[in-house]
Structure formats: C-alpha cells, structure tokens
C-alpha cells in the first residue's frame, strides 16, 4: 500500500511480523507512535509544563487533545455512529462484560444519573456523626503520600489527635487514608481547609517545594503548624516564613518534624550529656543509600536535594545534643564524575558551636546496606556514646551507663507528634523553639549552597 520511501506508523499494540525485504525494496520508514503524541511520559512536559516549541513539534499531547475536543465541539468530528452501547454507571460491570464478550461492541458510554454539579464536589464527608471538640487540637492534614499514611497519620492518631480533615490534590489518597484513619472528611480544597474554623492545627506532608507556601498560609491563618522537614528549600522561602512568623504578635506554634531528637535513646543521651560542661565532638553518619537521579527528591526545584531534604535531620540532632548555637558550617562533597552521577549526596558537613563543640555529619549514598543506616557517636570528657539505627545505644567509660537496647527501632515519630499536641493542649511553647527551627534551616541551606558551589 505504501509508496516508495513512505512511512508506516504503528498505533496501539499489535504483534509485529516485519519482512525486511518489503522495507528494503521500497526504502520504507517504520515508526511506533507514543500514546497521545509527543510529550507523553516526559516529566518535564507533563509535570513541569515545559512545552515543545511549535516550530519543532507541531502536534504535542496537549495540542492533539485540544484539536480533537475542538472538532467534537464544533461538530466537525461526529463520534455518535461509533457508539454501540450505553449503560448506567451502576451497571459498569455489564459494560465490561460486553466489552469482553461482544465482538460488535465499539463505543460504550457510561451514563451518570446525578447532575454534573452534584458530582463535582471538593469535599466528601465520611462521618456525619463526628463529635467535634473545639477545645482540642483539631487536625487538618495536607498531603497523604507514603510518609503521611505510613508514619505521621498513625503517629498523630496514637497521640489521640482529633483528625478532622485531610486534603490531597487528586482526592483519591484522601478518601483511602482519610476513611481508614477516621477523619471526618476529605477535600481537594486546601485553601478551604486552611480557612476552616473547625481546623486549628495543620500538618503539612507534601512535596518539599510546597512546604514554605503552606507554612506561611497556615501561620498567617493562625493555625498551629507541623511541617514535615524541610521547612524551606531556598533562602527566599525561609525569609518569607520568618518574616510572616515574626510579624504576628502572638504566633501559633510552629514545629518541624525533627523526630529523631524525640527518640528514647537520644533523650537518654541528652540526659547523660547534660552534666558535661566541656565541649563535645560528634560524628553523625547517614548511610543513606542510593536514590535514582530522576527521583523527585533529587530535583532541586521540587525536592531540594537530599542534603536539604534529609541531612537536615542530623543537623538538628547535633544542635539538640550539643545544646548551643551553630556559629559555623563547612561542607565538602565528592568531586564531579564523568558519569553524570549525583555527587551532592556523598558529602561531609562540619559544624562549629558557640560552646566550642564540633560536629561532623557524613551523608553518604554510596555505602553498603549491611552497614548501620544511621550512627551517632558523641565523644566528651574521656567518654563515648554510640547509637546505631536507633536500636542499640552503648556507653564507653560512662559512669553508671553501659547500654540501652530496644526490641525495635524507634526514631521518635510518635513522641514527636505527642510533644507537639501536648504543647497545644497545655498552652506551652513549641517543643522545638522557632529560633532553632530557623537556625537549622539556615545552616542546612548554607551547607547545600557550599556543596553546589564546590569547584
């Protein structure tokens, strides 16, 4: 059928039995078409909105859809003759049975009985009998990803939090996890959640590039705010949060999810170190493991990179154990390679403290999985404390202390949530002073900035 030097395009999925001679004799070109057109499966196009120039790519995924919908709306493309069956939405199982068994089925429509206005709801109520107590922390979650559903929601529930609303962008995760955890409702209207008089406490567990925006909105709305780290991914964001927070005469509680300082073994280390007035030296090692370069946490505009997104935990932990202001930061990463490998996640950060203490944080993504994932070592006054994976704590030459082992790892997630909620209930200051939160965020950004400027 094709003329010489013609092009044959495969649309959809089918078996291929190509004869080389056919293509050779006519010099034919063969192409497999990507579904929807150029741009499909390209995260820069689909997620970041980086369009292809019209002069280079005429028909992109979006332009294809626009053209088809425009032709259908104007009547130039009539699809009615293609419709062979119609079913009510509650008979969808019959529609699939027809699709599977009736070879004459071509176009199958599912008809909704409810008006469009009723179907387009931003909020779904799970429990109309929900007993709301306005004197208790009433929680609104923003985000319901893996960490929120597996760690933070259970942690807040264990601390007897009053789970009121959960907001997600698509609504699906909100329905699944909101119903399971016992929230009153789920919503896709995040601004509505922040403005709700029934929500006095907001927990932010979204991607890192949205943290600062939501924190600023929540604080300005007078909501107690818990944000999963990091507080911000650049200096401008941090400045905006700090300015907004300090402009409020009596600001609400602000908390970052630095849970490790609340783990039982770190709390024990803090008690043991309290009487030691001499400067301390700390080595904190994160055997972080590799993450693909295309993972969202590695994207500087979305995740901020792993130093900002993860190493901040150990900067806060060092700040907590030393108990003194951080006055200097020096960072060094692995040198650049010709493989395109990310080197920022193989770095050392050295912190100097006002009391003369010194902490070195090793964040390495190129270690062995059999080695402890997180190790904390404190050297002070001729003694050593060593903590592995938040399970095994040993004391070397420490008077009255040898070890503290746990049956299972405890990184302090539940204790962190409980401390935050108890502070709200009792009218106490935030478990981590805002000044420390801003200090740790600034030092983290400075460390990452030094690594990126390394020549």
Looking at residue 247, its pLDDT comes to 96
* Tokens found for residue 231: 């507080």
How far does CA 7 lie from the centroid of its chain? 44
Residue 260: strand, helix, or coil? helix
Number of H helices, E strands in the chain: 16, 19
Cis peptide before 230 (omega within 30 of 0): yes
In angstroms, the CA 235 to CA 446 distance is: 9
Angle at 420 between CA 419 and CA 421, to 5 degrees: 95
Looking at residue 148, its pLDDT comes to 93
Q: What pTM was estimated for this model as a whole?
A: 0.83
* Tokens found for residue 77: 């493309």
How far does CA 330 lie from the centroid of its chain? 27
In angstroms, the CA 7 to CA 29 distance is: 5
Please state, in angstroms and as integers, the Cα–Cα distance from residue 128 to each residue in 124, 164, 179, 311, following that order: 10, 12, 12, 43
Looking at residue 12, its pLDDT comes to 84
* Contacts with 454 (C-beta within 8 Å, 6 or more apart), sequence order: 331, 332, 333
Tens of pLDDT along the chain (455 residues) come to 999 999 999 988 888 888 999 999 999 999 988 888 889 888 889 888 899 999 999 999 999 999 999 999 999 999 999 999 999 999 999 999 999 999 999 999 999 887 777 667 788 899 888 888 988 999 999 999 999 999 999 999 999 999 999 999 988 999 999 999 999 999 999 999 999 999 999 999 999 999 999 999 999 999 999 999 999 999 999 999 999 999 999 999 999 999 999 999 999 999 999 999 999 999 999 999 999 888 889 988 999 999 999 999 999 999 999 999 999 999 999 998 877 788 899 999 999 999 999 999 999 999 999 999 999 999 999 999 999 999 999 999 999 999 999 999 999 999 999 999 999 999 999 999 999 999 999 999 999 999 999 97
Please answer whether residues 230 and 312 qualify as being in contact, where contact means their C-beta atoms are separated by less than 8 angstroms. Answer: yes
Helices 312-322, 264-273: inter-axial angle, 10-degree rounding: 40
**Strands 29-32, 7-10: parallel, antiparallel or unpaired by DSSP?**
parallel
Phi and psi for 248 in degrees, rounded to 5? -90, 130
């Amino acid at each position: 059928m094709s003329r010489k030097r013609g092009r044959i395009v495969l649309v959809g999925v089918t078996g291929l039995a190509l004869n080389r001679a056919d293509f050779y004799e006519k010099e034919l070109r063969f192409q497999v078409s990507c579904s929807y057109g150029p741009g499909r499966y390209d995260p820069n196009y689909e997620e970041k909105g980086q369009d292809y120039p019209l002069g280079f790519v005429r028909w992109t995924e979006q332009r294809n859809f626009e053209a088809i919908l425009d032709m259908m709306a104007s009547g130039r493309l009539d699809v009615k003759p293609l419709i062979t069956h119609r079913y009510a939405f509650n008979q969808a199982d019959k529609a699939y049975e027809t699709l599977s068994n009736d070879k004459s089925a071509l176009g199958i429509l599912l008809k909704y009985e409810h008006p469009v206005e009723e179907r387009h709801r931003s909020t779904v109520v799970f429990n109309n009998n929900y007993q709301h107590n306005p004197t208790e922390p009433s929680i609104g979650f923003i985000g319901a990803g893996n960490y929120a559903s597996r760690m933070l929601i259970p942690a807040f529930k264990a601390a007897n939090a009053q789970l009121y609303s959960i907001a997600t962008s698509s609504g699906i995760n909100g329905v699944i996890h909101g119903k399971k955890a016992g929230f009153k409702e789920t919503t896709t209207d995040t601004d509505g959640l922040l403005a709700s008089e029934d929500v006095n406490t907001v927990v932010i567990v979204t991607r890192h590039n949205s943290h600062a925006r939501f924190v600023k909105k929540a604080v300005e709305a007078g909501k107690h705010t818990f944000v999963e780290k990091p507080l911000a991914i650049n200096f401008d964001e941090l400045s905006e949060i700090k300015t907004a927070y300090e402009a409020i005469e009596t600001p609400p509680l602000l908390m970052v999810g630095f849970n490790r300082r609340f783990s039982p073994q770190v709390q024990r280390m803090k008690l043991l170190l309290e009487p030691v007035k001499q400067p301390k030296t700390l080595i904190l090692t994160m055997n972080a493991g590799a993450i693909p370069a295309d993972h969202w946490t590695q994207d500087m505009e979305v995740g901020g990179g792993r130093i900002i997104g993860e190493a901040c935990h150990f900067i806060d932990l060092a700040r907590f154990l030393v108990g003194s202001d951080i006055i200097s930061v020096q960072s060094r990463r692995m040198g650049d390679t010709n493989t395109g490998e990310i080197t920022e996640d193989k770095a050392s950060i050295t912190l100097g403290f006002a009391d003369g203490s010194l902490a070195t944080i090793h964040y390495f993504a190129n270690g062995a999985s059999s080695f402890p994932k997180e190790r904390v070592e404190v050297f002070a006054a001729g003694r050593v404390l060593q903590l592995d994976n938040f399970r095994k704590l040993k004391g070397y030459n420490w008077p009255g202390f040898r070890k503290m082992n746990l049956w299972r790892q405890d990184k302090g997630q539940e204790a962190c949530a409980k401390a935050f909620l108890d502070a709200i209930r009792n009218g106490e200051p935030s478990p981590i002073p805002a000044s420390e939160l801003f200090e740790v965020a600034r030092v983290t950004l400075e460390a990452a900035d030094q690594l990126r400027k390394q020549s």
